[in-house]
Amino acid sequence: MTASPFSLIAELTHRCPLHCLYCSNPVALKGAENELSTADWKRVFAQAGRLGVLHLHLTGGEPLVRGDLVELVSAARESGLYVNMITSGVGLKEDRLSALVDAGLEHLQLSFQDQDEAAANHIAGARAHALKLALVPLIRKSPLALTVNLVVHRMNLDRLPEFIVMAEELGPDRLEIAHVQYYGWALKNRSLLMPSEEQVHRSIAVVEAAKQRLKGRIHLESVVPDYFGSFPKACVGGWGRQTILIDPIGQALPCHAAAVIPNLVFDNVRSHDLAWIWEQSPAFQRFRGDAWMSATCLACPRKEQDFGGCRCQAFLLTGDADAIDPVCTYSPHHSLLQTLRGQTPELLPIWRG
């Protein structure tokens, strides 16, 4: 028996009022016409509860686009799940927020693109910054936990100290400083978004100082950007170990980027129970455990910490999904990242059409 997953990520829709340059959703988005129905999602949540999933993350696209969101939150709570929503907040009014809280929403994650309004709107491809700021006092009046997520990259990393002050004044329970990762649409803008080594090093000191200052008030979490590390991240806590993601049309993926890996077939919740998918679906078995690993990884004690790193990244950078994650110092491809770090940045953004 495989241990139960902790988290279910529900990509309710790919529709979104924002067009962020760093969007991690696939380049080809799923259309609204094929989205799972209310009944489909309710069935999936009930199956997730029975499977032992603890946390549900409602995301998208923008989950608020779904007219049945309140009903979905309520069904998720009835299934015993902890309900988190990752949202741009665009279009969220006080009455809908209270309906979501009454239905059992427990935690809301709101991301910010910059502390400067024009820069933030530029990155988001929408006039969203002022709307987000205006939403925070409403959230703080409600019994929701609030995480403010600062998305950082080459264009805003030099303003991180001011960005953190902005976040601090919003008074969240948690603060996440998230470096852009280069999956989905973001990969197209990698050269525009990738910071310099000097920027990254300066930012580490800024984050450490903020952690100390905010201790006991705001819980701060941040991760050093992958391309600047010497060892890979334990991507989604290891392939098929902790997480199931359901995309808008019902495909079950081990992580949000897994569709880039060739020859993986994703079973659909329209035709399979979640427990069957978790135990049996070939896509979840593909990199579960260590049988697929190279001799280098098999002999390495770090395989118990990073579970072989990120398969999607290994594929995107080397063309081989079984390769050692190039972030790892022991990868024969590690120099690829040094080359990328040394490149002259691109100055023109590529927008979703």
* Chain residues that interact with another protein, rule: CB under 8 A: 6, 54-55, 80, 82, 84, 106-107, 143-147, 173-174, 215-219, 221
Question: For the stretch 254-283, what's the b/e string if a residue is b when 16 or more beta carbons lie within 10 angstroms of its beta carbon?
Answer: bbbbbbbbeebebbbbeebbbeebbeebeb
Cα–Cα distance measured from residue 283 to residue 269, given in angstroms and rounded to the nearest whole number: 14
Nearer to another protein, 106 or 325 (CB): 106
Shortest Cβ 77–another protein spacing (Å): 11
Nearer to another protein, 142 or 196 (CB): 142
Nearer to another protein, 82 or 292 (CB): 82
Shortest Cβ 271–another protein spacing (Å): 30
- HSE, side-chain direction, 13 A CA sphere, residue 7: 20
- Maximum distance among all Cα pairs of the chain, rounded to whole angstroms: 57
Nearer to another protein, 6 or 292 (CB): 6
Shortest Cβ 282–another protein spacing (Å): 29
Residue 141 contacts by C-beta under 8 Å, 6 or more apart in sequence? none
Shortest Cβ 224–another protein spacing (Å): 18
Cα–Cα distance measured from residue 41 to residue 70, given in angstroms and rounded to the nearest whole number: 12
Nearer to another protein, 54 or 275 (CB): 54
Nearer to another protein, 147 or 181 (CB): 147
If DSSP codes are grouped into helix, strand and coil, which group holds residue 131? helix
Shortest Cβ 171–another protein spacing (Å): 12
Cβ–Cβ under 8 Å, residues 228 and 214:
no
Shortest Cβ 10–another protein spacing (Å): 16
Cα–Cα distance measured from residue 268 to residue 246, given in angstroms and rounded to the nearest whole number: 8
If DSSP codes are grouped into helix, strand and coil, which group holds residue 8? strand
Tell me the sheet residues that pair with 7.
55, 243
